[in-house]
Amino acid sequence: MKLFITILLVLVGFTVNAQVPDTCFTSKQVLDISYTLDSIFYIDSINTKLINEQRSIITDYKQLIKLDSLESQYKDKKIELLQSNINLYVEREKLLKPKWYQHRIIAFGGGMTTVLITSKLINSIIK
């Protein structure tokens, strides 16, 4: 019985497959659809590649933006440090600038006055 059912199913399967398929497209239309699908798949693969390239370019630009912001921060810090360095130089110059009583002219005048007074004292003592 099983063998009979198996043979019957096999024969029915062959007869169903032997029937001419009923399609509403001509062979030319099927070829056109096939070419169209192929071109659409090709365009889709190109678009996928372009999207991936754009994503990589976007990540590169994001990284570049981060690097630019870091560079900008470092430049700002450098400007701040240089400005503090200038302020330190100005303070040092103020500290190292001779006071009014440390000028050479005053020292020269004081020295000459001392010599003159000393020489007059010696002259007055000798006389």
pLDDT band at 24 (very low <50, low <70, confident <90, very high): confident
Amino acid at 83: Q
E-assigned strand segments in the chain: none
Cα Rg of the chain (Å, integer): 52
Specify the pTM.
0.48
pLDDT digits (tens, 9 = 90+) for 52-85: 999 999 999 999 999 999 999 999 999 999 999 9
Split at pLDDT 50, 70, 90, the class of 127 is confident
Q: Rounded mean pLDDT of 114-123?
A: 92
Query: What is residue 18's predicted lDDT score, i.e. its pLDDT?
Result: 46
Q: Helices H, strands E: what count in the chain?
A: 3, 0
Q: Please report which confidence band the pLDDT of residue 15 belongs to, taking 50, 70 and 90 as the band edges.
A: low
